[in-house]
A and B are shown apart, each in its own frame.
Chain A
Amino acid sequence: MNSSQRGFRIFRFAAPQVFYPLAGRLAPWFAAAAVALTLVGLWLGFVVAPTDATQGEVYRVIFIHVPAAWMSMFIYLVMAFWSAVGLVMNTRLSFVMSQALAPTGAIFCFVALWTGALWGKPTWGAYWVWDARLTSQLLLLFLYFGFIALTRAIEDPRRADRAGAIIALVGAVNVPIIYFSVKWWNTLHQGASVSLTKAPSMATTMLAGMLVMAFAAWAYTLAVTLWRVRPMILERERHTEWVGEVLEREGGRK
């Protein structure tokens, strides 16, 4: 088999009637992984990881704060990626994918801000400060809201797809700004404790708990996005024979 044939086989999964049942089969596995990882992560975070020498117990917010913040940025980049694919290759499933990701990204973005506020009060003395990291993260939340509102407000799906894709692509510029804000500006928010280039500046068990929770957030995002995208695909493809069959099979079931 040559490589172009193999490439064609991979693209087969981009066909809605192939992707729909595949998503349905994969989602429960990702959900199970998310539950298992969360349990391990919480055990590491609350039982194994020691009390922080300077912050005491309040630092345990980190096990959701950092994974949620990472996920909120990563999901936005994935949305921008699918939007670009959709615009370039004119594949409609790509736009649907980016729209299915948006609510989960918005939730993680809110969680990052919320947990950050609750962590900021006891450590900085303020729930909120207008520093570069916090402000750019708040902007990300508004970009999510803008994307969701715009794609839902426009009736014509083709125009909604394109308008959303433009917000996703333009807004993606904000993600590196969030990430590097703690380096570029003098922020109250601390710099990265974990980076690819240097050893992490935290206890190994704390780091392990945080990373396991980050994987849990990944697995959760995959599960919930696959569940959300399925009815969206049916909606888009409702004129086709295969959706008719799915509806007769699944719609009658209680």
Chain B
Amino acid sequence: MQWESWSQFWHMGGAAVFVWGSYAVTFGLVVLELVLVAQRRKETLKRLLRWRRALGKDGSGRQSAPLESEQ
């Protein structure tokens, strides 16, 4: 163990800004990336489902009657 106390650990021998600045930005970017990927997935599913419904495909996966003849 290199540290005698938590405050010594956070102090990082005077290099706290550089060490924690590196780790914090990296961690932040990883979290941001995961959030963006999850949002992208939700958005794509919603948009494609809407697109599919607009084409007149029903839930069974078969093509139903074209929109014009439904009027």
Contacts and interface: CB of A to CB of B under 8 A. Distances in A.
A64 B19 CA distance: 10
Contacts of B13: 51, 56-58
Given A56-B15, A58-B12, A103-B33, A251 B22 contact: no
A156 interface: no
B66 interface: no
A220 B31 CA distance: 11
B48 A61 contact: no
B67 interface: no
B61 to A, nearest CB: 5
Given A104-B33, A111-B26, A251 B46 contact: yes
Interface of B: 1-2, 9, 12-15, 17-19, 21-23, 25-26, 29-30, 33-34, 37-38, 40-41, 44-46, 48-49, 51-52, 57, 59, 61
A151 to B, nearest CB: 15
Nearest to B15: A58
Given A58-B15, A119-B18, A247 B26 contact: no
Nearest to A248: B59
Given A231-B45, A234-B45, A241-B61, A64 B52 contact: no
Interface of B is mostly: helix
Query: Which one of B19, B23, B29, B34 has the highest number of Cβ atoms from chain A below 10 Å of its Cβ?
Result: B19
B48 A234 contact: yes
A114 B22 contact: yes
Interface of A is mostly: helix
Nearest to A230: B41
B22 A61 contact: yes
B15 to A, nearest CB: 4
Nearest to B30: A220
A231 B1 CA distance: 45
15 contacts: A47-B2, A51-B2, A57-B14, A61-B19, A64-B23, A65-B22, A107-B33, A111-B29, A115-B22, A121-B18, A234-B44, A247-B52, A248-B49, A248-B61, A251-B48
Contacts of A227: 37-38, 41
B14 A238 contact: no
B35 to A, nearest CB: 11
A250 interface: yes
Interface string A46-73: 1101110000111011001100100000
A122 interface: yes
A250 B46 CA distance: 10
Given A224-B34, A231-B45, A47 B1 contact: yes
